[in-house]
């Protein structure tokens, strides 16, 4: 079943909010209304006092006065931005968010907008996501919130929270999928030329991206080389040879600079590569296992169960592109 026509989405913003936190989700819902039959999201942007509101990029946009919005929206989404300590000190903003959240079918935040929901008490006892750089601060400031530092977005009951910036688009696509199904969300994603493949259970950072912060050039070069050579011999000895280090010295340096052992890193990169192929291709699982260096489906299956608590087949079923 689809949701009723004219489901109202209210995006709450403030001075110095990040503009993509507002415009990203707004464009998703607008595109859904244009391209999906029988779907009509009514998008409104509101702030305390209304009028023109500046963004962190210096671009201003018109908003409604949130106090004048007497009927709660179907979906309430709070943007994130700079100066969040000042934002959460705005008692009028918190009061209005609480009022509208009480009647909304679902409540969401993008990026550091989670701080607004937390300050309003809407995240107490719930799991939540926010921008990776703000996770520790959210934990310390609001200890009743269970912060997931890895997730692109988190759904806990009727409350949805997302990681930073473009993750708001992933969140909005997930909300469309929740309303009208994955096929509908996939059509919106295609119109926006974005991937419908990042899910709430997928990490904000890839293993390769994190390891690229290694200090020494040999380790950085090796990390960059690995994804294109997953079927090669990637034992410690072979990798040490490529960096012209002894196996013992290589293992020590690699762990010091990346935070993981060579074997752990290789397994993580192979798993991520397999996930991408499962999500974006119809290649047989045994072929993916071979291409990613697992050797056989049984080994890949055991790795998926241990690392992701799922199987390759289940991952494809949940995250794969529609046939």
User: Which amino acids are annotated catalytic?
Assistant: 111
272, 198 Cβ separation under 8 angstroms: no
* Nearest of 124, 130, 185 to residue 161 by alpha carbon: 130
Interacting residues of 200 by C-beta distance below 8 A, sequence separation 6+: 129, 151, 152, 153, 154, 155, 174
Answer whether 251's CB lies under 8 Å from 262's CB: yes
Q: Are 283 and 250 in contact (CB under 8 A)?
A: no
Q: Which residues contact 243 (CB under 8 A, 6 or more apart)?
A: 218, 219, 222, 250
CB-based burial label for 282 (10 Å; 0-12, 13-18, 19+): exposed
């Amino acid at each position: 079943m689809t949701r009723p026509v004219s489901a109202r989405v209210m995006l709450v913003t403030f001075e110095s909010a990040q503009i993509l936190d507002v415009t990203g989700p707004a464009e998703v819902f607008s595109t859904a209304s244009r391209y999906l039959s029988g779907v009509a999201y009514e998008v409104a942007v509101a702030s305390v006092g209304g009028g023109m509101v500046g963004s962190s990029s210096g671009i201003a946009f018109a908003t409604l006065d949130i106090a004048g919005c007497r009927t709660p929206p179907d979906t309430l989404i709070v943007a994130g931005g700079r100066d969040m300590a000042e934002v959460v000190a705005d008692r009028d903003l918190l009061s209005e968010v609480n009022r509208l959240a009480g009647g909304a079918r679902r409540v969401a935040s993008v990026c550091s907008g989670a701080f607004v929901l937390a300050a309003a008490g809407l995240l107490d006892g719930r799991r939540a996501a926010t921008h990776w750089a703000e996770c520790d601060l959210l934990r310390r400031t609001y200890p009743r919130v269970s912060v997931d530092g890895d997730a692109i977005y988190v759904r806990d009951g009727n409350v949805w929270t997302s990681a930073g910036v473009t993750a708001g688009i992933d969140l909005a696509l997930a909300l469309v999928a929740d309303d009208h199904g994955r096929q509908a969300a996939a059509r919106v994603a295609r119109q926006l030329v974005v991937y419908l493949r990042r899910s709430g259970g997928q990490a904000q950072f890839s293993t390769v991206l994190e390891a690229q912060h290694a200090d020494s050039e040999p380790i950085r070069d090796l990390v960059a080389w690995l994804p294109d050579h997953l079927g090669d011999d990637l034992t410690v000895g072979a990798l040490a040879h490529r960096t012209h280090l002894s196996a013992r010295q290589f293992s020590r340096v690699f762990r010091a600079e990346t935070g993981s052992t060579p074997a752990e890193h290789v397994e993580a990169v192979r798993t991520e590569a397999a996930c991408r192929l499962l999500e974006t291709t119809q290649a047989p699982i045994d072929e993916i296992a071979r291409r990613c260096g697992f050797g056989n489906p049984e080994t890949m299956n055991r790795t998926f169960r241990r690392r992701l608590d799922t199987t390759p087949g289940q991952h494809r079923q949940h995250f794969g592109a529609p046939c």
